[in-house]
Amino acid sequence: METITVRIRQDAERFTPQEEEALQWAGRVIKNGGLAAFPTETVYGLGGDALDRESSRKIYQAKGRPQDNPLIVHICRFEDLEKIVSRVPEEAVRIAEAFWPGPLTMILEKSERVPSETTGGLKTVAVRFPSHKAAQKIIEYAGGFVAAPSANTSGKPSPTLAKYVAEDLEGRIDMIVDGGQVGIGLESTIVDLTVSPPQILRPGYITKEMLGRVLGHVDTDAGSLGADSGQAPRAPGMKYRHYAPLGELVIVEGEADSAADYINRQTAADHMAGEKTGVIGSREYLDRYHADVIKCAGSREDEAGIAHSLYRILREFDDEGVTRIYSESFVCSGFGQAIMNRLLKAAGHRVVKL
């Protein structure tokens, strides 16, 4: 299959006639049962018609995604929510008012209209209303309900640039809408509203504190946080190794000087053993490290910046053939929790505590 790529300006709020045509084209591809990747404010999504079981099958196939890992249905109007869920609880209205359109996904009981292929056999459905204007237009042109998991090969870091979508999916999907670099760089927060109190199944830009202010008490699924919990995560997708670079990644936790000493000893030994070594460090500590490739994740003070660059850095290590990667550990509160959640999964939970 030939994959057609069209370009639109990054983060455009209004579109030129050519861009409008491109978005319409992508919407039509999805409406006709094809797959089109497009930017959202979180990461690039791979869109297919969420109400068509054959389209959902195609998504799993293109990504090599396990069939029990359900898809998020993207909508472009709040009113459309009631068409795909059996009931809209009052909590859903409140968090939609606070955070939609935006990087928040809610889990609700599904209606008959959503095929079980889309929800990986579950009776619940994940729904998000993205704020990205081009994504909204594509969803509208596609008929209003677009299943759009991250547009990467299953297991790899989610794409933050169209070229990473092409690397993974060229020849396997109909179209890529290239809208430049995405804004947030990590996937949406997922909150399950079918349990009481509501539970965060995947941390993201919308933090537990932000949700708590609107909903009162909110729990975090213990299984989503780490291997130590001994509990299976409740979002099926969170159980798989994910976001992973090809090289082996280890997170080093400890005071800055001893962490740098440890990392430098390891990279020296690895280098001698013929490995190509890499380090992910913060701007504050970057000059302490020695390795073949050193990548700056940004300032420790700037979580948004770290989130923004994390997946790109992991992919660049692949491109540069790095086989052993060491990363600093970052703060684990607020939005930092989402960063550490992805980093831990990318590392397969290999953490050295000094």
Chain residues binding Mg ion by CB under 5 A are 150
Q: Which does 119 bind (CB under 5 to 8 A by kind): Mg ion, ligand AMP, none?
A: ligand AMP
Pairwise CA distance, residues 245 & 89, whole Å: 40
Q: How far is the CB of 61 from Mg ion (least distance, A)?
A: 15
The count of other CB atoms within 10 Å of the CB of residue 136 is 19
Angle, CA 276 vertex, CA 273 and CA 279 arms, to 5°: 115
Return the residue of 81, 235, 322, 338 that touches ligand AMP, per CB under 6 A: 235
16 or 67: whose CB is closer to ligand AMP? Answer: 67
Q: Which does 107 bind (CB under 5 to 8 A by kind): Mg ion, ligand AMP, none?
A: ligand AMP
Return the residue of 70, 103, 198, 245 that touches ligand AMP, per CB under 6 A: 70
The answer to whether the CB of 62 falls within 8 A of the CB of 139 is no
Q: For 298, left (φ over 0), alpha (ψ -120 to 50), or beta?
A: left
Pairwise CA distance, residues 66 & 174, whole Å: 21
Q: Does 201 bind ligand AMP (CB under 6 A)?
A: yes
Pair of tokens at residue 231: 């509990």
H helices present in 100-179, as ranges? 133-141, 162-169
Q: Which does 52 bind (CB under 5 to 8 A by kind): ligand AMP, Mg ion, none?
A: none
Q: How far is the CB of 118 from Mg ion (least distance, A)?
A: 15
Token pair 């204007």 is found at 133
Q: Does 150 bind ligand AMP (CB under 6 A)?
A: yes
Instruction: Please identify the residue of the shown chain whose CB is closest to the bound Mg ion.
Output: 150
Q: Does 238 bind ligand AMP (CB under 6 A)?
A: yes
To the nearest 10°, the Cα dihedral for 45, 48, 49, 52? -130
Beta bridge partners of 73: 127, 147
Instruction: Please identify the residue of the shown chain whose CB is closest to the bound ligand AMP.
Output: 237
Per-residue CA distances from 20 to 17, 139, 163, 209 (Å): 5, 13, 22, 38
Handedness of CA 98, 102, 107, 112 (dihedral sign): positive
Backbone φ, ψ for residue 198 (5° rounding): -55, 150
150 or 199: whose CB is closer to Mg ion? Answer: 150
283 or 312: whose CB is closer to ligand AMP? Answer: 312
282 or 337: whose CB is closer to ligand AMP? Answer: 337
The answer to whether the CB of 115 falls within 8 A of the CB of 179 is no
Q: Which does 322 bind (CB under 5 to 8 A by kind): Mg ion, ligand AMP, none?
A: none
Q: Which does 117 bind (CB under 5 to 8 A by kind): Mg ion, ligand AMP, none?
A: none
Pairwise CA distance, residues 17 & 288, whole Å: 51
Q: Which does 74 bind (CB under 5 to 8 A by kind): Mg ion, ligand AMP, none?
A: none
Q: With CB under 6 A as the contact rule, which of the stretches 18-26, 67-75, 170-178, 314-322 interacts with ligand AMP?
A: 67-75
Return the residue of 26, 37, 72, 291 that touches ligand AMP, per CB under 6 A: 72
Which residues touch 117 (CB under 8 Å, ≥6 apart)?
53, 56, 57, 67
**Footprint of ligand AMP on residues 85-144 (CB under 6 A)?**
107, 119, 122, 124-126
Q: Does 36 bind ligand AMP (CB under 6 A)?
A: no
Q: What SS3 state is found at 310? A: helix
Q: Which residues bind ligand AMP (CB under 6 A)?
A: 69-70, 72, 107, 119, 122, 124-126, 149-150, 187, 190, 201-202, 235-238
